[in-house]
Amino acid sequence: MKFTLSLRTWMVLAFVGIIISLLSARLSTKLLPVSDTSPVVVIDPGHGGQDPGAVGANGVYEKNINLSVSLILATLLPQKQLTVYLTRSNDQLPSSPPFTTLRDLQQRVLLSRRWHATIFVSIHTNSEPTGTVQGPIVYYRSGSPLSLALATNVSQALSTLNGRVIPPRPIHQLVLEQAGVPAINVEVGFLTHPLDQSRLVNSSYQTQIAQAVSLGILHYLRRGQ
């Protein structure tokens, strides 16, 4: 069956095609390096694939929250003249089989070094046995003043979500210690706390988390500390 389209219809379709092309071009360039000297932010969504991380009520997996927040964060940062990389952008581990926690962590470190990271930001979701602790917490590479400065900026930005500042905490973690640059682990909330979990599965709240982390990162980079 043959269909004929009016001139007006063709004009509308052509206009829509132009708009889609412009948007696609804009989106495709956002994750490209801005320049050889632009700061490089490596975002590390924790866990993935066969490693779910913490598991909350109703089968909520940490790995999925980590990835969602990280993807949003990645779209926010390039708009601020940064080069951004993700250690994973889907539900697959960055390391090749067979899976071991050590192999996975080492691959994340390798990627950070390969990309010549300026800072390394790991995104995780917390858990604890009592179900009473809530809110985001930022951990930093122990013994690193620059990591502490980065963590402090991000922690202060996150305080806008609940009106209180949780002081950053030092921690010994392989990915943070071997990243070779200022490195932090942002625990965006507790899956074991009912209110936190209800927020963390909400895309609007995930965006608020990502925006706060983005502001903290930018403040750190602008001040150079």
What confidence tens digit (pLDDT) does each residue in 24-65 have? 333 332 344 445 578 999 999 999 999 999 999 889 999 999
Per-residue pLDDT band for 162 (boundaries 50, 70, 90) equals confident
Q: What is the mean pLDDT of residues 156-181?
A: 92
pLDDT at 18: 37
Domain extents for the chain? 38-223
Give φ, ψ of 208 to 5 degrees: -60, -40
Q: What is the mean pLDDT of residues 137-162?
A: 96
Full-model pTM: 0.83
Hey, which CATH number is domain 38-223, 1.10.3720.10, 3.40.630.40, 3.10.20.30, 3.30.750.210? 3.40.630.40
Cis before 98? omega within 30: yes
Rounded (10°) angle between helices 203-223 and 62-76 = 50
- Give the separation between CA 221 and CA 213, rounded to whole angstroms: 12
CA-only gyration radius of the chain, Å: 20
